[in-house]
A and B are shown apart, each in its own frame.
Chain A
Amino acid sequence: MRNFSICAALLSISLCGLLNADEQLSMSDSDKAMYAEMVENNPAAMDIADGEETFNRLIGEEAYAKMLGVKAKDLPKYIAGFPRFVKPAGKVVTLAQTLQMAMADRGQNVPKLESKEIVTMSAYVKSLANDQKTNIDVKANKQMKEMMALGQAVFEERRGGRGLSCNSCHSPDIVGSRLRMQPLPDLGAKETAAAGTWPAYRMTQSAMVTLDKRMQQCMKNALLAEIPLGSKEMVALEVYVTNKTKGNAIQIPGLKR
């Protein structure tokens, strides 16, 4: 079965008009090291600085912690557990959604999830949890259990004209196969630490992108209808994907192809 997958992957590469996908077409370890080094001066650091300024102006750490019902000093660890069930919301929410809540709390106009304010603030707030281990608990309560189950269902559901699911390209048994020269990443691997490194700077787009937005981009390219940001299904998907990388350190902002 493993061989069969590789065959299918090779077929997919030749269909893309690219032949001889041998190791020569892969980045070497030293190439990878050069890219890894680039995280050190990540242009998204400017977005994070922007988010810090916005967060301190519009919300502030103290008010934010109070709304969540945690002590300010416990924030980093708490932040490392999103998406999670938040009492004032009465449901499982993402970090970005808690920023919307905090703004609503303070009687401010609530920007959209894709707005610059929420995107940069959520990156900044998540960066407060840098070096913490992702500690999402999908068994914490019945709401989380439900969202985990829904997330898995969404991840595996084949949709669109081509009947693709997230799992079509991201199931553990085809990790490392190539999609147009690009080895498919293991979403749970320590080195990719997928969920723990988003929001990340996407070099192909020269912009910082959030995890849910990235998943939408993936859906678009796979010809699937995009699941709306903030919808129950999208939050569930974030729960499922984040859980794959549980225990890996958070490093915000990431740097991606």
Chain B
Amino acid sequence: MAEMKTLIKIKPKTYAVGEIVKIDFMAMHPMESGMRKDKDTGAIIPAHYINEVNFLFNDKLLTKMITWESLSVNPVLTISLKVSGAGTLKVLAKDNKGQSVESTVAITPKG
């Protein structure tokens, strides 16, 4: 299985210490519900979904998410972060088949 592709966006693009920014985390994932049938064979496609996403800022847990198959395919998850200074935002995502991916983005407040 190919590596899970991810993307993190910080909005707005420029921000200062003390400001609240939005973090968008996106992942390419089929998010199979385990309820769909294969069109050709009629067999149920096994559930395959991201079940945990952890957001860490400078290695400290910011937000932990338990996620389920009801999230859309290629899910997008948005949370807020109050910028306390420069650092690294790390997102660890894993799915119910044990596949995991780590993505990072630099938090660089202006001024």
Binding site for B on A (CB under 8 A): 38, 40-41, 43, 45-46, 49-50, 203, 206
Report the minimum CB–CB distance from A220 to chain B (whole Å).
15
Are A50 and B76 neighbours in the complex by a CB distance under 8 Å? no
Are B28 and A41 neighbours in the complex by a CB distance under 8 Å? no
Interface CB pairs A-B, < 8 A, 13: A40-B24, A41-B24, A41-B76, A43-B76, A45-B7, A45-B9, A46-B6, A46-B26, A46-B28, A49-B5, A49-B7, A206-B73, A206-B74
Are B73 and A45 neighbours in the complex by a CB distance under 8 Å? no
Q: Which secondary structure dominates chain B's binding surface?
A: strand
The residues of B that contact A50 with a CB separation of less than 8 Å are 5
Q: How large is the interface on B (under 10, 10 to 19, 20 to 34, 35 or more residues)?
A: 10 to 19
Bound state CA distance, A207 and B6, in angstroms?
15
Report the minimum CB–CB distance from B86 to chain A (whole Å).
24
Interface centre among A41, A49, A50 (most CB of B within 10 A): A41
The residues of B that contact A49 with a CB separation of less than 8 Å are 5, 7
The residues of B that contact A40 with a CB separation of less than 8 Å are 11, 24
Residue B72 at the chain A interface, CB threshold 8 Å? yes
The residues of B that contact A45 with a CB separation of less than 8 Å are 7, 9, 26
A46-B7 contact, Cβ under 8 Å, with A41-B24, A41-B78: yes
Bound state CA distance, A41 and B24, in angstroms?
7
Bound state CA distance, A38 and B9, in angstroms?
13
Considering the complex, which residues of chain B in the window 1-39 have a beta carbon less than 8 Å from any beta carbon of chain A?
5-7, 9, 11, 24, 26, 28
Q: Which residue of B lies closest to A208 (CB)?
A: B74
A41-B73 contact, Cβ under 8 Å, with A46-B26, A46-B28: no
Are A41 and B26 neighbours in the complex by a CB distance under 8 Å? yes
The residues of A that contact B72 with a CB separation of less than 8 Å are 203, 206
Bound state CA distance, A41 and B73, in angstroms?
14
Bound state CA distance, A91 and B110, in angstroms?
50
Residue in A38, A46, A206 whose CB lies within 8 Å of B5: A46
Report the minimum CB–CB distance from B12 to chain A (whole Å).
11
Are A43 and B24 neighbours in the complex by a CB distance under 8 Å? no
Are A43 and B78 neighbours in the complex by a CB distance under 8 Å? no
Bound state CA distance, A40 and B12, in angstroms?
11
Bound state CA distance, A80 and B21, in angstroms?
33
Report the minimum CB–CB distance from A104 to chain B (whole Å).
27
Bound state CA distance, A107 and B75, in angstroms?
38
The residues of A that contact B7 with a CB separation of less than 8 Å are 45-46, 49
Are A43 and B26 neighbours in the complex by a CB distance under 8 Å? yes
Report the minimum CB–CB distance from B25 to chain A (whole Å).
9
Bound state CA distance, A49 and B11, in angstroms?
18
The residues of B that contact A43 with a CB separation of less than 8 Å are 26, 28, 74, 76
Supply 18 further A-B pairs (C-beta < 8 A) apart from A38-B76, A46-B26. Answer: A40-B24, A41-B24, A41-B26, A41-B76, A41-B78, A43-B26, A43-B76, A45-B7, A45-B9, A46-B5, A46-B7, A46-B28, A46-B74, A49-B5, A50-B5, A206-B72, A206-B73, A206-B74
The residues of B that contact A203 with a CB separation of less than 8 Å are 72
